Amino acid sequence: MVVPKSEFISTNVWRDDLFKSKVVFCTGGAGSICSAQVLALVYLGADACIVGRNVEKTEKAAKHISTVRSGARVIGIGAIDVRSFDNLKNAADRCVRELGGIDFVIAGAAGNFLSSINQLSVNAFKSVMDIDVLGSYNTLKATLPYLLESAAKHRVDPETLTPAPTGTGGRIIFVSATLHYAGQAFQTHVAVAKAGVDSLSNNVAIEFGPQGVTSNIIAPGPIANTEGMERLVSSVRRVDAFKSEPLGRYGSVRDIADATVYLFSDAGSYVSGQTLVVDGASWRLGSIG
């Protein structure tokens, strides 16, 4: 089935070959948000490797993403648990063997459920910390040698400030959330984990900035038709709750994909160590995200 591009990217904004010859490596790539991010990058010319725990779901998502552009190379590697560094290292190495390198990384794998601290076992807290924080660290660690190689090839000239003719590379985005800004009942485990992910990104930006790597966070708010919303919102909020959001609507996965394209493009070259909140100002009203 051909995916209508208006579902995952703002048409008439981005150049079709923006990411030609680039490779993106994405954890959680079969999920609703990350697959839209990868769809947009592949549509704009990139090849991709997505990894996930579920083999069938990951391979199916890769096949689906590959339909977006003729000639696109998209690998889906299943049975990868981000809590295992070895799993991720094997996947990153395979990505490089088959696709030639890694220019962009999206650390998108996450674990979530609603639970009060009273009900939350120590192991449940640890599971979410391990998936979100350790998983993001493992993703970074497994791909860092390749990100550094790519960054070296794609540096903006420090004297003339002109973009590299080869385009961009050496960039990582961590997918976080907004629920830890103010605090959120039943989400302590996730809030603590996402605060750790944010800190990881900021430190990467400082430590590897001198080598040309940029590191940023995208913090989605309430995004319609996603697993996060299914898990968190539908059970606790009215069906028409989107009307009380500041923009009178929920976000779409396309909103997150467009933000991703911006951060990986030349236009995002001097943006690092930042959090791009894509939530229509929802968190300021205390909305879930």
Min dist CB 84 to ligand HXC, Å, is 12
Min dist CB 55 to ligand HXC, Å, is 15
Measure the CA–CA gap between 225 and 33, rounded to whole angstroms: 9
Measure the CA–CA gap between 198 and 203, rounded to whole angstroms: 9
Q: Based on the residue annotation, tell me whether 89 is a catalytic residue of this protein.
A: no
Contact assessment for residue 275 and residue 176, using Cβ atoms and an 8 Å cutoff: yes
Q: Which is nearer to ligand HXC, 99 or 256 (CB)?
A: 256
Min dist CB 115 to ligand HXC, Å, is 4
Min dist CB 95 to ligand HXC, Å, is 22
User: Looking at 22, 35, 150, 194, which residue is catalytic?
Assistant: 194
In the shown chain, the binding pattern of residues 192 to 231 toward ligand HXC, with x for contact by CB under 6 A and - for none, equals -----------------------------------xx--x
- 177 part of the interface to ligand HXC, by CB under 6 A: yes
- 113 part of the interface to ligand HXC, by CB under 6 A: yes
Using Cβ positions, the residue closest to ligand HXC within the complex turns out to be 111
- Residues 231, 86, 29, 196: what is their CA dihedral angle, to the nearest 10 degrees? 50
Total of residues contacting ligand HXC (CB under 6 A): 22
- 10 part of the interface to ligand HXC, by CB under 6 A: no
Measure the CA–CA gap between 101 and 159, rounded to whole angstroms: 27
| Residue among 221, 144, 210, 231 at smallest CA distance from 175 | 221
Rounded (5°) CA angle 114-115-121 = 135
| Residue among 46, 50, 48 at smallest CA distance from 28 | 50
User: Looking at 35, 66, 150, 176, which residue is catalytic?
Assistant: 176
Contact assessment for residue 220 and residue 231, using Cβ atoms and an 8 Å cutoff: no
Q: Residue 117: CA atoms inside 13 Å, Cβ hemisphere, count? A: 5
Measure the CA–CA gap between 81 and 66, rounded to whole angstroms: 23
- 52 part of the interface to ligand HXC, by CB under 6 A: no
- 124 part of the interface to ligand HXC, by CB under 6 A: yes
Min dist CB 66 to ligand HXC, Å, is 23
- The correct pick among 67, 115, 252, 275 for binding ligand HXC (CB under 6 A) is 115
Q: Based on the residue annotation, tell me whether 272 is a catalytic residue of this protein.
A: no
Q: Which is nearer to ligand HXC, 99 or 229 (CB)?
A: 229
| Residue among 221, 136, 216, 217 at smallest CA distance from 178 | 221
Interface residues toward ligand HXC, by CB under 6 A: 110-113, 115, 119-121, 123-124, 127-128, 131, 177, 179, 190, 227-228, 231-232, 288-289
| Active site positions, annotated | 176, 194
